[in-house]
Structure 1
Amino acid sequence: MRRSEDFAQTIRRGTRAGRDTLVVHCRRVEGSAERRVGLVVAKTVGNAVVRNRVRRRLRAVVVEQVEVVPPGTDLVLRALPPAREASYGLLRDDYVSAMSSAVRRASARTRA
């Protein structure tokens, strides 16, 4: 995901699930088979070196777990300040937990 409009729509219209290190926003896109993911790592997480390390870890987690995300889903991952000290394993666990919760809520919303 690259356009700010896509980020904004996913955050505003999607469902949200938060954990200690990150927040996952999820929006189901009808008629699409794509899985799109955007990352938000703000300055509150740390300096540029820390933000880039967090971004690389989150990107690796997403690539590792891409098959779990249903087709036609847009996700925005927003890193929280505790992510700066989080290990890869903790980030992965928080992502899997938050993502599954957000996807479940988004799927229930589209069916209703």
Structure 2
Amino acid sequence: MLARANRIVRGDDYRTVVRRGRRSATAHVVVSVVRRSDGAPTRFGFIVAKTVGNAVTRNTVRRRLKAIAHDLLAGKPTDCDVVIRALPAAAQAAWPTLLGDVSRSFARGLEKAA
């Protein structure tokens, strides 16, 4: 589970990242990244819409994305906000596929935001 310091919890912060962030998309996710200059820890937010599936499916996808974000925290910069939006195909994606998509999108978003 992500610590509170590593989660985006305010709606305004979500909107800022989605509107101003550098976007990178794959078949399963869209990752938006915004660099911050305050040196605070990296924060993640997740958007899993009803188009992904029913409540059980959405929560499963969200838990998988949180686990991936937890893995990404090790060795990543400490000055960015990241919002991961799941696309409908994420519900059927295998773990290695989803992990690879999020990792690549996150890395591309960091490159664009730099």
> TM class by shorter-chain length?
over 0.9
Helix, strand or coil at the partner of 2:74: helix
Residue 68 of structure 1: how far off its partner (Å)? 4.0
Helix, strand or coil at the partner of 2:78: coil
Partner amino acid for 1:91?
L
Partner amino acid for 2:107?
S
Which residue is 1:100 aligned to? 107
Which residue is 2:85 aligned to? 78
Match of 2:26 among 13, 19, 24: 19
Match of 1:48 among 24, 47, 55: 55
Q: Which runs of 5+ in 1 are unaligned?
A: 108-112
Match of 1:38 among 45, 49, 52: 45
1:28-61 Cα distance to aligned partner (Å, 9 max, x none):
0112231100000000000000001101111111
For residues 76 and 87 of structure 2, what CA distance do their matches in structure 1 show? 22
Normalised to the residue count of structure 2, the TM-score between the two structures is: 0.91
Which residue is 1:89 aligned to? 96
Which residue is 2:36 aligned to? 29
Query: Which aligned runs of 4 or more in structure 1 are off by greater than 2 angstroms?
Result: none
Q: Which runs of 5+ in 2 are unaligned?
A: 1-7
Normalised to the residue count of structure 1, the TM-score between the two structures is: 0.92
Helix, strand or coil at the partner of 2:43: strand
For residues 88 and 60 of structure 1, what CA distance do their matches in structure 2 show? 10
Matched-pair identity in %? 38
For residues 15 and 57 of structure 1, what CA distance do their matches in structure 2 show? 23
